[in-house]
Amino acid sequence: MPAQNLPPSVFQMLERNVGKKIRVIVDPTYGFEGTLEAVTQEPSGIWLSEADAIVLRATLAQPIPQVSSKEETGDVYLNLKTIQRIEVLQQIKNK
């Protein structure tokens, strides 16, 4: 029987982004931004270094939440059960 190509697991997708800057949304109005340092399976979670706690705000004019404030928090561990969304932030290169 031929081997089936299984989709990558959440852990494999996260491990591809180790070392990149990410935004983790924990609550519709709260989250963290930082560098993804490690992914753990037991307990399932991620470690962020140089993390900032962020507050997100949306208005009727701009329904997509925008970062309204940041506060430096240092290194943070987040359990995957508490995370609603993870975004990889693209770094703009100056030419």
Q: What is the mean pLDDT of the chain?
A: 88
pTM above 0.85, yes or no: no
Pick from 21, 27, 23: which is nearest to 82 by CA? 27
- Reported confidence tier of residue 27, pLDDT bands at 50, 70, 90: very high
pLDDT of 7 above 90: no
Q: What is the pLDDT of residue 8?
A: 76
Contact call for residues 21 and 33 (beta carbons, < 8 A): yes
Q: What is the pLDDT of residue 93?
A: 61
Q: What is the pLDDT of residue 10?
A: 86
pLDDT of 92 above 70: no
pLDDT of 54 above 80: yes
- Mean pLDDT score, 40-69: 92
CATH level 2 (architecture), domain 10-88: Roll (2.30)
Domain residue ranges of the chain, discontinuous segments joined by +: 10-88
| Nearest-angstrom CA–CA distance, 12 and 66 | 28
